[in-house]
Amino acid sequence: MRALVIGGVLAGLFMLAALVSFVWVPHDVEALDIANRLKAPGDGYVLGTDHFGRDVLSMVMVGARVSIAVALVAVGIGMGLGVPLGLAAAAARGSLLDEAIMRGNDLVFAFPSLLIAILITAVFGPSALNAIIAIGIFNVPVFARVTRGAALSLWTREFILAARTAGKGRARISAEHILPNVANLLIVQGTIQFSLGILAEAGLSYVGLGAQPPTPSWGRMLAEAQTMISFAPHLALVPGLSIVMTVLGLNLMGDGLRDILDPRIRRVRA
């Protein structure tokens, strides 16, 4: 429970910052102000300025938008495709369909999201959309596997047999009995993939495969900060710590949710 609250507060802080940035930021993130370049934190700029005189706090707030949006949509893609695939594979256990879905999953696992991003970028050029697609595709087999694994053990339970003797079809049983019982697991996995997505997005935009200038993103801020780390360490520390705290917050939330939602653990405690 404590983990959930701490994690929720940490991750919620950055989500709030992302939302606030739509209506208000301390300074315009695209306005260059060379006179105020590389200022240390404080003195009108809470977190200092970068080499173009842009306000770091404002950039981190707008950057949160990109990171969170990319990771969230990628989780949506992974769940939207992976969960139905996993349910179908489990409902048709051992069939050709199950085999095809699982082999397809194995194949996608051979392409880490970075490789998918490289393939897409090589042909279509870099953009935030690439990052979403690359991370989203990588999420699909993760959700498909989690769903199938949990669904398979449910299919052997007697309440499913009871539903079958009540004449219900496999699709209906999947929707009515299986999905609600794997939902908790999916919420927990969703939080984990959300945090992994933020890390992956940061990596992709760091190497230039994600959001493009002038949109600020945490990964690109780090890439620009790299050469200045010895004399302007705040440029690397602020976006880096933002990533760490958001990911840490999401992971803590995932652990907390698992403790609350997983009936196995709850039963041990009761």
The neighbour count for residue 118, using CB atoms within 10 Å, is 17
Q: Which is nearer to other proteins, 31 or 229 (CB)?
A: 229
The contact mask relative to other proteins for 113-142 (x = CB under 8 A, - = no) is xxx--xxxxxx--x----------------
222 makes contact with other proteins (CB under 8 A): yes
Sign, CA dihedral 160-166-170-174, equals negative
| Distance separating alpha carbons of residues 244 and 199, to the nearest angstrom | 9
203 binds other proteins (CB under 8 A): yes
Task: Please name every residue paired with 49 in a beta bridge, in sequence order, or none if there are none.
Answer: 55
Q: Residue 221 corresponds to which tokens in the numbers above?
A: 């801020």
Residue 135: closest CA among 87, 59, 196 = 196
Interacting span for other proteins (CB under 8 A) from 32-40, 51-59, 84-92, 105-113: 105-113
Q: Which of 24, 34, 96, 165 binds other proteins (CB under 8 A)?
A: 165
Tell me the C-alpha distance between 137 and 143, whole Å: 11
Please, what is the minimum distance in Å from the beta carbon of residue 214 to other proteins?
A: 19
| 93 vs 101: CA distance, rounded Å | 11
**Nearest residue to 197 (alpha-carbon basis) of 248, 142, 135, 137:** 135
Does 2 participate in binding other proteins (rule CB under 8 A)? no
- 168: contact with other proteins by CB under 8 A: yes
Residue 12 in the binding site for other proteins (CB under 8 A): no
* Binder of other proteins out of 4, 72, 152, 207 (CB under 8 A): 207
Among 74, 128, 132, 163, binds other proteins (CB under 8 A): 163
Q: According to the binding rule CB under 8 A, does residue 37 interact with other proteins?
A: no
Q: What is the dihedral of CA 98, 194, 219, 13, to 10 degrees?
A: 170
User: Minimal distance in Å, beta carbon 181 to other proteins?
Assistant: 7
Establish if 252 lies at the interface with other proteins (CB under 8 A): yes
Helix runs in 110-233, H state only: 113-124, 128-155, 158-165, 170-173, 179-206, 218-225
Q: Which stretch binds other proteins (CB under 8 A): 14-22, 27-35, 51-59, 238-246?
A: 238-246
φ, ψ of residue 52 to 5 degrees: the values are -105, 5
110 is a site residue for other proteins (CB under 8 A): yes
The residues of the shown chain that bind other proteins, judged by CB under 8 A, are 103, 106-107, 109-115, 118-123, 126, 157-159, 161-168, 177, 180-181, 195, 199, 202-203, 206-209, 222-223, 225-226, 229-230, 233, 236, 240, 243-245, 247-248, 251-252, 255, 263
